[in-house]
Amino acid sequence: MFQSFDTHASPAQGPARLAALRHILAAEGLSGFLIPRADVHQGEYVAARDERLQWLTGFTGSAGFCIVLPNIAGVFIDGRYRTQVKGQVDLVHFTPVPWPEISAGAWLKDHITEGVVGFDPWLHTADEIARIETALAGTGVTLQPCANQIDKIWPDQPSAPVGKAFAHPDSLAGEASTEKRSRLAETLRAQGQSAAVITLPDSLCWLLNIRGADVPRNPILHGFAILYENAHVTLFADASKFEDATRAHLGDEVLLRPISAFVPALRTLQGAVRVDRGTAPLAVSTELTEAAITVAWGDDPCRLPKAKKTSAEIEGMREAHLRDGAAVVEFLCWLDQRTPQGGLSEIDVVRALEGFRRATNVLHDISFDTISGSGPNGAIMHYRVTNESNRTIGRNELLLVDSGAQYLDGTTDITRTIAVGDPGDYARTCFTRVLQGTIAISRARWPKGYTGRDLDPLARYALWLAGQDFNHGTGHGVGAFLSVHEGPQRLSRISEVPLESGMILSNEPGYYREGEFGIRLENLIVVQPAPNLPGGDGERSQLNFETLTFVPFDRRLVLTAMLAPGERDWLNAYHAEVLAKLSSRLSAEALAWCQSACTPL
């Protein structure tokens, strides 16, 4: 299997490691140290050697950080992890801090009056450090770049990953690397910039039409790149990852050099060099500045073009989702047959679902560890089942399954919440409100220029009317056979990036009652031009969403009387489309199940 169920960290290990860290900080003359969940590439997904936050605290979430001071260690977690963190850290020695409601700078001001707090400049962006320094202005507390203090006390830290790189066909990318590089180089020249530094692994993979195997679940390569104004690129990566065919794919305009050559190369650049202050490590701009090279702050040039998928990428995603949808329907058919017998565990669910995806014979990997949360575990938003946490699915409760797959032609991410027995009318009421949010986003039309922040309330309105909400964004960007979480687009109250045609996002409202159940419903959607409507204002360009995911919602959890006619019509039309698109891909048994699941309300 791709997914394992081992426990990667334990709260019991935290206190001794925290004591060791404090000892070395005192010896270094430091009053504190910042420990982010980040690597030198600033991607969301990190290799085992970079799981410093997890190693120190026991917290396994995909976002957060820790600040260690002499008398307190704060673990900063967003709304997705506030239930999870309580069971993963030693609450006597580590204090959960709600973030971003409480910022790092504000927290430091409240807990320390003077001293030097260290940080690894390769693990923080210029933006991050500037925000903290601004908050600390006028205090006796200063930040100081230094060597990574965790690495000094981690005796069995894993080695750097050495996964092989491989070519991603131009036919799936929809644009050759030479064309991408020429297009971006033209923007550099237009802005008077001689080069751009690229640190995000998915950006360099997209730019060069390559993929890698350095991080589980995400086909990315660890490395850095410099894109020059003449469209040439120097790629800094481990040469052992590149076989002859992949080197040939890169072409003569891409120079492969070792990562150790990256900093010296930075210091030889001339002219203004673009650096993304929100994604590049602070060390990059520091090295340039110390070499008297002009830093031109600007967005990673790959991020927005990468987000706006080509027609070939969108077509690949459509096919991947139909293939994956059929596998998920086969799984749901199996699940409905199996749950009445009792005794089914959360791990059994994960294994079965991966098995149905493997049966496609083209599964490259899962796109993240499957979330299989039954009853109270469903309320842990990013729950990862382990051998220790695994529970038997009870009768008359909800099962939340959030999963996805990586295929060469696309990345999938889907969540369905399933009734096991009769979970009761309160659960149905909450489910229906979440479904209303899913439908509202799916039906949305909006003028060009609107952002994810503008649309996010649509997913929450039905919940808000009932005094309910969910502590995560409504949707994240998704890559095309790349990272399942991809920026800069989001459906979120903090997103200010305008939505543009070709952007793929998730649509995943939810509701969670700690200790009882969790509900989340997720489809992937792609932004497209909206057709003109009769009687509409024709000169106003609008956008809407095309749905990519086709799997039935559990009708047993829908209270039809709560749905407005338009909502009911959308759901019936969606289910009719599920049946039309998947029928030829299903086994006879799964087809019969799907026909029943898609019966109109």
Report, as an integer, the average pLDDT of 29-48. 93
Let me know if residue 190 belongs to a domain: yes
φ/ψ bin of 497: left (φ > 0), alpha (ψ from -120 to 50), beta (otherwise): beta
Contacts of 581 (CB under 8 A, 6+ apart): 322, 325, 550
Give yes or no: residues 296 and 332 share one domain. no
Residue 287: pLDDT band by 50, 70, 90 thresholds?
very high
Write out pLDDT tens, residues 511-554: 999 999 999 999 999 999 999 888 877 778 999 999 999 999 99
2 occurs within a structural domain: no
> Quick check: is 1 in a domain?
no
Mean pLDDT value across residues 291-296? 98
pLDDT of res. 506: 98
Same domain, 143 and 222: no
Task: Choose one of 125, 153, 181: the last residue of a domain.
Answer: 153
Domain span holding position 123: 11-153
CATH code of 467's domain: 3.90.230.10
Let me know whether 296 and 180 are in one domain.
yes
pLDDT tens readout for residues 463-477? 999 999 999 999 999
Say whether both 481 and 346 belong to one domain: yes
39/158 Cα distance (integer angstroms): 13
Q: Is residue 463 a contact partner of residue 509, using CB atoms and an 8 Å limit?
A: yes
SS3 507: strand
Give me the phi and psi of 341, to 5 degrees please.
Answer: -75, -20
Shared-domain flag, residues 389 and 479: yes
Whether the model clears a pTM of 0.85, i.e. scores above it, the answer is yes
Total of domains in the chain: 3
CATH of the domain at 97: 3.40.350.10
Q: Domain boundary at 104, 120, 153, which?
A: 153
Mean pLDDT is lowest, of 74-88, 292-306, 472-486, for 74-88
Tell me: do 397 and 252 sit in the same domain.
no
Residues 490, 476: contact at Cβ < 8 Å?
A: yes
Residue 66 sits in the same domain as residue 197: no
Place of tokens 């990586």: 406
In a domain, 6, yes or no: no
Residue 8: the pLDDT is 76
Asked whether residue 324 falls in the same domain as residue 299, the answer is no
H or E stretch covering 132: helix 126-136
Residues 534 and 500 in one domain: yes
Residues in contact with 286: Cβ distance below 8 Å, sequence separation at least 6, in sequence order:
121, 145
- 87 confidence band (pLDDT: 50, 70, 90): confident
**pLDDT at res. 533:** 87
**pLDDT value of position 10:** 80
Residue 7 has a pLDDT of 82
Q: What is the pLDDT of residues 358-410, one digit of tens each?
A: 999 999 999 999 999 999 999 999 899 999 999 999 999 999 999 999 999 99
398 Cβ contact list (under 8 Å, min separation 6): 374, 375, 378, 417, 418, 419, 420, 423, 427, 431, 517, 518, 519, 557
Q: Percent of the chain having pLDDT more than 70?
A: 100
**What is the overall mean pLDDT for the chain?**
96
What pLDDT does 259 receive? 96
Q: Which residue has the tokens 């990315």?
A: 220
State the burial class of residue 531 (Cβ atoms within 10 Å of its Cβ: 0-12, 13-18, 19+): exposed
pLDDT higher than threshold 80 for residue 251 = yes
The reported pLDDT for the residue numbered 597 is 98
The residue out of 304, 326, 359 marking a domain boundary is: 304
**Tokens encoding 64:** 């957060």
Q: Name the token pair of 302.
A: 């790959």
Of the pLDDT bands very low, low, confident and very high (cuts 50, 70, 90), residue 43 is confident
144 part of a folded domain: yes
